[in-house]
Amino acid sequence: MGHGFGDARGDRGSNAVTEPLNEPVKVHPIADVIAAIRARGPRYLGVTVGNLIYGQLFLLFVQWLMPDNRRAAANAITVILCAIPTYYLHRRWVWEKKGRSSLRTEIVPFWLFVLLGLVASTLAVAAVQALWTNTFDGPLPALVTNLVNIATFTVIWAVRFLWMDKAFGVEREP
């Protein structure tokens, strides 16, 4: 008895969409996104929260070491140094990869996102610092720098998860 969805024998039912029987039905891209989030989302979120905590604490520390007018430089230093352990945490724990890293499919895509985050967050911090110094007396507060950094990376975070999930070539269960 057909249900309109077909079965392995090609029974299309009376409400079937007209498709060739021998061609596989294409799954909507949203299904891939949902599968990736279910499979690796909690671990990715865990690494991200850990990175957020140590990254923001490190950013506060670097800002404390540097002059107040160097917030963008402090941001850049933090992004670069915190990306190294983040790569290995993502690779090993989120995507469960062992052995040598692939330059083309793992290292380059990850570091391109780091570069994107570095440029975007550093430009954002520099712009906010310039706006702040033109508007208020005194230097840009360190916590404002942290908030700008977090806001910039929040946008990149979601895109990076989906991109890296494909780049690491993780197999999805049917």
pTM recorded for the entire structure: 0.67
Higher-confidence residue of 29 and 73: namely 73
Print burial letters for 48-58: b (CB count within 10 Å at least 16), e (below 16): beebbeebbeb
pLDDT digits (tens, 9 = 90+) for 44-72: 888 888 989 999 999 999 999 999 889 99
Token pair of 45 as six digits: 């979120």
pLDDT more than 90, % of the chain: 39
pLDDT digits (tens, 9 = 90+) for 83-114: 999 899 888 887 788 899 888 888 898 898 88
pLDDT digits (tens, 9 = 90+) for 12-40: 444 444 445 555 555 566 776 677 667 77
Q: Transcribe 135-169 into DSSP letters.
A: HSSSPPPHHHHHHHHHHHHHHHHHHHHHHHHHHTT
Q: Which single residue is written with the structure tokens 């494909």?
A: 166
By 3-state DSSP, what share of the chain in percent is helix, strand and coil, each rounded to 5? 70, 0, 30
User: Quick check: 57 and 146 in contact, CB under 8 A?
Assistant: no
